[in-house]
Amino acid sequence: MTLDDLIASMFPAGHAVKRGLRSTVHGAGRLEDGTEVALIGIVDRTPLTIDAAIEVAGYVLSVIEKGGTTPILVLVDTASQNMARRDELLGLNEYLAHLSKCLTLAALEGHRTIGILYGHAAAGALIATALSTQVLVALPDAEPSVMDLPSISRVTKLPLDKLTELAKSTPVFAPGLEPLFAVGAVTVRWDATKPLAAQLLTVLQAPLAQHDPRDAIGLERKGRLLAAPIAARVAMEANAHG
C-alpha cells in the first residue's frame, strides 16, 4: 500500500500532510466527527539518519507544545538506522534515543501514540520509531526485522537453511510480521481489504494499559513466555529486600 492510499483510506474526511526535508512527513488527518489526529513519520524506506531523527522528534515536540491530547500517528516505512561513520561520530545513539524519549513522553502526557507500520523498519530504526509508540498497528505489507537471516547466519555461524528451518518453530529471532506479532511487539494487524478509517477508530477508542503491556501480550500469544514472569519477579523482589 502506498503512503497516499494509506492516508486516504484512514482519513476519508480529509487530511493535510506535508513532506519534510528528508523523507519525513508531518501534518494532520480529520476523523468523521471532526477531531484532528497528528500525522508524522519517516517514509520511502529511508534509513534513519541523525538529520531525519531530529526532524521527526521536532514534529513530536510541536504537537506536545500545542497542548491538548491530540493522538499522534507515526507512519513508518524506514530501513535500519543509517550506517555511516559520520552519523556515529555525531552521536546517532543520542538522536535515536531523543526521538524515542519524545514519543514515549508524548504518550505519558496524554497523546495516544499509534505506530502505523506499512513498510520496512529494522534494528535501531525500529526501536526509535514503531516500537516507541503505545500501540503498534501493522499493515499486511509490513516488514519489520531486527536483523536479516543471512546476517544472523554470519554471526551465529549457523547455516542459513538450518536457521530457516528453526524459524518455523520459534518466533524469537526470525524477521517478519508474524514473529514480531507473536512476541507482542505488534499490537494489532489491519485488514487492508476493508476501509482503514473504521479500524483506526477502533484503535483510537480501545482502552489503554496503564503501563507497557507488551510482555503480557507476548505471553498471551505464547511467543514470549519468560519476559513477563521474570520482569514481574524481579520487580517484586527488588523492592522487597532491605
Chain positions 154 to 213 lying near other proteins, rule: CB under 8 A, are: 155-156, 158, 166, 170-175, 179-180, 183-185, 211-212
Binding of other proteins by 230 (CB under 8 A): yes
Q: Which residues contact 121 (CB under 8 A, 6 or more apart)?
A: 76, 77, 78, 79, 129, 130, 142, 143, 144, 145
Binding of other proteins by 70 (CB under 8 A): no
Report the residue number, 13 or 83, with the smaller CB distance to other proteins.
Answer: 83
Residue pair 118/144 in contact (Cβ under 8 Å)? The answer is no
Tell me, by CB under 8 A, how many residues bind other proteins. 79
Residue 197 — φ and ψ, nearest 5°?
Answer: -60, -45
Binding of other proteins by 13 (CB under 8 A): no
Task: Tell the smallest beta-carbon distance from residue 140 to other proteins (Å).
Answer: 19
Binding of other proteins by 131 (CB under 8 A): yes
Cell of 28: 494532520
Binding of other proteins by 93 (CB under 8 A): yes
Match 542459513 to its residue by C-alpha cell: 160
Binding of other proteins by 143 (CB under 8 A): no
**Secondary structure class of 104 (helix, strand, coil):** helix
Beta bridge partners of 48: 81
Report the residue number, 7 or 42, with the smaller CB distance to other proteins.
Answer: 42
